[in-house]
């Protein structure tokens, strides 16, 4: 089952009248000023890139007169029921600056609706808690938020105290290992993955927000109910009365779900579908990869921020350097734009940038975000006959990135952006003891770790010698 991240943020206030909309306090005779031209263009570009698939490589400044930009503005305006002019007017900019969900509204995620859990009994677990509320309060609010959907669907939610639950609930900040970093106070409030294996269903709340049980700050009960709708398979609605509406909306706590919400959750978890799902339930765990298999191999291993990423076919394990837990699942769960395997990868710490390679193309990952479209491997200056590489590694000490292919390797000067003269050279001559094709490579503390099948050779870069041999699965704690 394909799982795409479904992330959301909603600002919600309790009111006594369900038709009441929270007022904007503007002194009489004044109006909201338009932002500075460059600010509103950057705001719109970032907004349309994140929510409407506007292509933006962050290196070329987009002009508001470009047809692709105008088309995406119109698309956004149509979604929110605005006047579809393609112009960044005040009303459009106001919507773009409103608190909202991080999931795209159209196109890329449009096929997600309809995915569901293969059972009518769904487990959840709470990991890290917020600093704003007591644990018992959080437990009660989370249970109540699940209850909203239980009453409408007939689903049963059972809490467990392990990390193997269907839905893992956690309060985190900024980059937290899933390629969807939070942005500090009053930005994205929370996000959730849709149903599926690995990270599927996991729901994260930004602990830089002020979480409350009332009408001040952000009410955890209502935000959680919205998030769990995504974790169950629902996507955003254009209906302002729906709990799944993506932007700022007020709700009465006694009646969160609209008729549309109820109809959609029932459609996903009808009794007939639920009966079939009970038969499918035992098959779901088999889709998970066995990280402790003695013959486990990796295609690429790379640092990204404070975590290490292990790629195998189209699967991914993410191990936080300061945490014991490992997130896992299909690559597309964490990086929706990458629908292939990764053959090689390397990290350049001084740029906080990683490069992920598949055959003759590569993606640039800055921080926790995949930037722009994939580019050709020829960017690095390879001869035309080189259409793929087996492994790559960046040596911080020398400023070189090494590209390994069969029995030879190249050295790329990251400062001058050129290949070093005299390459390719023999791997066995320059790395004695490593006499075979390399699957993946990783650099740390002046050691290069060469992954060759299920074994890992620890190579002392200064003394040019293999000083140890490990197993690949030991890197995942096995």
Just list the catalytic residues: 227
* End-to-end Cα distance, the chain: 27
Task: Return the CA Rg of the chain.
Answer: 25
Q: Which residues contact 362 (CB under 8 A, 6 or more apart)?
A: 355, 356, 374, 375, 377, 379
How far is the C-alpha of 200 from the C-alpha of 118, rounded, in Å?
A: 12
Quick check: 377 and 364 in contact, CB under 8 A?
no
Q: Which two tokens stand for residue 329?
A: 């699942």
- Where do the H-state alpha helices sit in 54-134? 67-79, 90-96
Q: Quick one: tokens of 409?
A: 């390797």
| 79 CB-near residues (< 8 Å, 6+ apart) | 105, 106, 238
Partner residues linked to 470 by β-bridges: 456
Residue 141 and residue 89 in contact, taking contact as beta carbons nearer than 8 Å = no
3-state secondary structure of 423: coil
Beta-carbon contacts of residue 254 (< 8 Å; ≥ 6 apart): none
Residue with tokens 């929270």: 22
Kindly list the distances between the CA atom of residue 412 and the CA atoms of 219, 266, 303, 377, 459, in Å, as whole numbers in the listed order. Answer: 52, 56, 19, 12, 20
Nearest one of 15, 10, 433 to 209, comparing CA atoms: 10
């Amino acid at each position: 089952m394909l799982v795409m991240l479904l992330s959301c943020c909603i600002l919600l206030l309790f009111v006594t009248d369900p038709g009441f909309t929270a007022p904007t306090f503007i002194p009489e005779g004044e109006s909201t000023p338009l932002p500075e031209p460059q600010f509103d263009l950057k705001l719109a570009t970032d907004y349309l890139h994140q929510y409407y698939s506007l292509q933006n490589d962050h290196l070329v400044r987009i002009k508001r007169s470009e047809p692709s930009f105008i088309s995406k503005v119109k698309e956004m305006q149509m979604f929110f029921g605005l006047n579809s002019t393609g112009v960044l007017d005040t009303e459009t900019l106001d919507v773009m600056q409103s608190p909202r969900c991080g999931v795209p509204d159209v196109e890329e995620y449009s096929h997600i609706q309809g995915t569901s859990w293969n059972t009518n009994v769904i487990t959840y677990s709470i990991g890290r808690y917020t600093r704003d509320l007591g644990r018992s309060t959080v437990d009660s609010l989370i249970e109540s938020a699940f209850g909203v959907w239980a009453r409408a669907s007939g689903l049963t939610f059972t809490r467990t105290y392990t990390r193997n639950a269907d839905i893992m609930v956690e309060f985190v900040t900024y980059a937290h290992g899933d390629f969807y970093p939070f942005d500090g106070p009053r930005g994205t409030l929370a996000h959730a993955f849709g149903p599926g294996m690995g990270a599927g269903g996991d729901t994260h709340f930004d602990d830089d927000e002020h979480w409350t049980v009332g009408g001040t700050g952000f009410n955890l009960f209502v935000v959680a109910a919205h998030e769990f709708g995504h974790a169950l398979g629902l996507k955003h609605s254009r209906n302002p009365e729906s709990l799944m509406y993506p932007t700022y909306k007020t709700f009465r706590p006694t009646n969160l779900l609209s008729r549309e919400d109820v109809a959609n959750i029932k459609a996903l978890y009808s009794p007939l579908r639920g009966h079939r799902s009970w038969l499918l339930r035992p098959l779901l765990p088999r889709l998970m990869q066995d990280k402790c298999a003695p013959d486990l191999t990796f295609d690429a291993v790379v640092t990204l921020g404070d975590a290490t990423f292990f790629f195998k076919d189209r699967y991914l394990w993410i191990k936080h350097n300061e945490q014991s837990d490992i997130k896992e699942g299909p690559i597309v769960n964490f990086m929706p734009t990458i629908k292939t395997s990764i053959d090689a990868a390397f990290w350049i710490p001084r740029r906080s940038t990683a490069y992920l390679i598949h055959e003759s193309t590569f993606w640039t990952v800055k921080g926790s975000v995949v930037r722009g479209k994939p580019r050709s491997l020829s960017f690095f200056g390879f001869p035309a006959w080189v259409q793929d590489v087996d492994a790559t590694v960046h040596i911080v000490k020398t400023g070189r990135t090494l590209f390994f292919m069969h029995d030879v390797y190249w050295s790329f000067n990251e400062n001058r952006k050129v290949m070093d003269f005299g390459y390719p050279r023999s791997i066995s001559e320059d790395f004695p003891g490593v006499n075979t094709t390399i699957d993946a490579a990783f650099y740390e503390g002046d050691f290069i770790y060469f992954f060759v099948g299920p074994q890992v050779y620890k190579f002392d870069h200064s003394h040019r010698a293999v000083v140890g041999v490990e197993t690949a699965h030991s890197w995942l704690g096995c």
